[in-house]
Chains A and B, each alone.
Chain A
Amino acid sequence: MILTNVQEVKIVNLCKKFRIELIKCLHTVGSGHPGGSLSATEIITTLYFHELNVNPKNPNDPDRDRFILSKGHAAPMLYLNLAEKGYFDKSELSNLRQMNHMLQGHPCAKTTPGIDLSTGPLGLGISAAVGMAIAGKLDKKGYNVYVLIGDGETQEGIVWEAAMAASKYKLDNLIVILDHNKVQLDGTIDEIMPLGDINAKWESFGWKVIETNGHNIRDISSALEEAKRAKGRPTIIIAETVKGKGISFMEGKNIWHGKPIDDEHFNLAMKELSGGN
């Protein structure tokens, strides 16, 4: 599907709004993961507002596209998208991570409409996605399975088990997007556990590899179009991103992976995010 200028502007504005709401939300509840939500903002929003064939009124439609947030800690950005789409009331957002409410710290398919898979323990999402994609093939359904994984997440062995399986079963209905923000909880990827040549790794596992700018709506959208043209093999889109994108003091800083936002930083962040308006 071609991205029109109108759609592009709409998604850019949504991303702007989601960043503000994200910071408000995490500041209010005093926990959650800002860094990885901010790097994934454009990717998740482009998926929900341009790419995915889903219907909030029929969240379990067997023909729908699937989306798995394998890097489950970016849950707040997923919730903002789901609420905007109408899967649940926006008032739920202020009860993120709170007892007796639906929005769990990591996505839970049992409690939250629109979640295709419970995630959190890294690496599991891509493995389950392989199963979903095989089911789609067996049932001759036209849906695609989209998975967003973190770069640090690929340090988990199961990611490569799943990568081998997706290649063996020629899952061209599986599209993985790698949020390449280069930072993990304890430091940069290069400090903690370098990933080496990411493209070469995935290519050698039999995947089609596409590179894109993970903060540019038009680039993300054309990468997705290209991914869907793959035949007989799965695709990974390596999306170049910045952890903490949009808030200068968070950008590229591992301490903002899961740090609560105090009043001082909240005010600074809000000033920056609203400045562009």
Chain B
Amino acid sequence: MKTKQIRQAYGEALVRIGKKDKRIIVLDSDVSNSTKSCIFEEKFPERFFNVGISEANMAGMAAGLATAGKIPFINTFATFMVLRAGDPIHSLIAYTNLNVKIAGAYSGLSDSYDGASHHSLIDIAFMRALPNMSIISVSDPVETEKSVKACLDIEGPVYLRLSRAEMPYIYDDNYNFEFGKGNILVDGSDLTIIATGYMVHKALEAAKLLKNEGINVRVVNIHTIKPIDTELLIKCAKETRAIVTVEEHSIYGGLGAAIAEVIVSNYPVPMEIVGIQDVFCESGDYEQLLNKYGLCAENIVVKSKLVLSRKYVEK
């Protein structure tokens, strides 16, 4: 299976857009070799600013640059983006709808060995609650490149949820990435599994396992978590009448919560949210951690059967 590091795809995409648009400025807070913003630095050193270990100041500077018509991309680990730079992101960037692109590297458990302090499991919750903020969460290298480009069409802040993981390709270059629109990757009528980021791969795996048991699953990739594709979500609720959501994030305030908010007010159906259960995780191998904390195909299968049992009882 062909795979690529998401951060590599991101760094290369920055160069591609940077070539065409001189307004693009890239800032990093001393993790450019990890986020791969260093690829941009090599090509455009005059538009690259390494501000040292000062995430809040990086976001503040980006706000200032944006007021003067620049399009800054700021880079650090997702957890520090929220917890260290959250103040200027809230009070300067989101409040005034400044055109700053916020790239959260190493989201979820992807920086697995570094432990709970480096895992990012609350970033979606924080970013979703900010007015004016858009959120894109990527599931493969092609989607990463397309989202970086799509950011430029949005006049205002975008949170790009990236990953340290090496991900298999879901899409090819013909992929028509549409901001705000989810994609049905596999069609089915028994239930819909809706996932984002690396979990899309786990959802596809689960769908195969369920298919072997005669259960026809629809799999949806929600790359734009905000604004969420309300129309598609309601359609899935109506057509499959059962939903399982999967995300590498706390079960509070993330993708599952966003979908539940749409479903309860429009077309309530049985739902299960697969995510991290209100705990801090630990150091370890990435895949082993995902398995331990239930972010795996097997657990999605269990939750799918649970939601189906409720679907048929409630029917």
A residues with CB within 8 A of B: 62, 66, 108-110, 116-118, 120-121, 124, 126-136, 138-139, 157-158, 161-162, 164-165, 169
A110 touches B96 (CB 8 A): yes
Instruction: Pick from B63-71, B184-192, B296-304 the stretch touching chain A.
Output: B63-71
B residues with CB within 8 A of A: 25, 46-47, 49, 51-52, 54, 56-57, 59-70, 72, 87-88, 91-92, 95-97
B68 touches A127 (CB 8 A): no
B57 touches A165 (CB 8 A): yes
Q: Nearest Cβ in chain B — how far from A26, in angstroms?
A: 23
A128 touches which of B46, B54, B61 (Cβ 8 Å): B61
B87 CB contacts on chain A under 8 angstroms = 121, 124, 158
Would you list the 9 A-B pairs with minimal beta carbon distance, nearest first? Answer: A131-B64, A127-B60, A135-B68, A161-B57, A128-B64, A131-B61, A161-B54, A132-B64, A131-B65
Q: Nearest Cβ in chain B — how far from A159, in angstroms?
A: 9
A130 touches B60 (CB 8 A): yes
A116 touches B67 (CB 8 A): yes
Q: Nearest Cβ in chain B — how far from A128, in angstroms?
A: 4
B69 CB contacts on chain A under 8 angstroms = 62, 135
With A135-B69, A136-B68 already in contact, the answer to whether A127 and B95 are too (CB < 8 A) is: no
B63 touches A139 (CB 8 A): no
Chain A's closest residue to B72 (CB) is A131
B92 touches A128 (CB 8 A): yes
B46 CB contacts on chain A under 8 angstroms = 138
B60 touches A135 (CB 8 A): no
Q: Nearest Cβ in chain A — how far from B49, in angstroms?
A: 7
With A109-B96, A124-B91 already in contact, the answer to whether A134 and B49 are too (CB < 8 A) is: yes
Q: Nearest Cβ in chain B — how far from A148, in angstroms?
A: 15
Q: Nearest Cβ in chain B — how far from A143, in angstroms?
A: 9
Measured CA separation A157–B91 after assembly (Å): 16
B64 touches which of A121, A127, A158 (Cβ 8 Å): A127
B91 CB contacts on chain A under 8 angstroms = 118, 120-121, 124
Measured CA separation A129–B63 after assembly (Å): 9
Measured CA separation A62–B95 after assembly (Å): 21
Q: Which of A124, A129, A133 has the most CB of B within 10 A?
A: A124
Measured CA separation A116–B96 after assembly (Å): 10
Given contacts A124-B87, A131-B66, A133-B64, 15 further A-B contacts (CB under 8 A): A62-B69, A110-B95, A110-B97, A117-B96, A118-B95, A124-B63, A127-B64, A128-B64, A130-B61, A132-B65, A134-B64, A139-B68, A162-B57, A162-B61, A165-B57
Chain B's closest residue to A131 (CB) is B64
A110 CB contacts on chain B under 8 angstroms = 95-97
Chain B's closest residue to A139 (CB) is B68
A134 CB contacts on chain B under 8 angstroms = 49, 61, 64-65
A158 touches which of B49, B57, B95 (Cβ 8 Å): B57
A117 touches B57 (CB 8 A): no
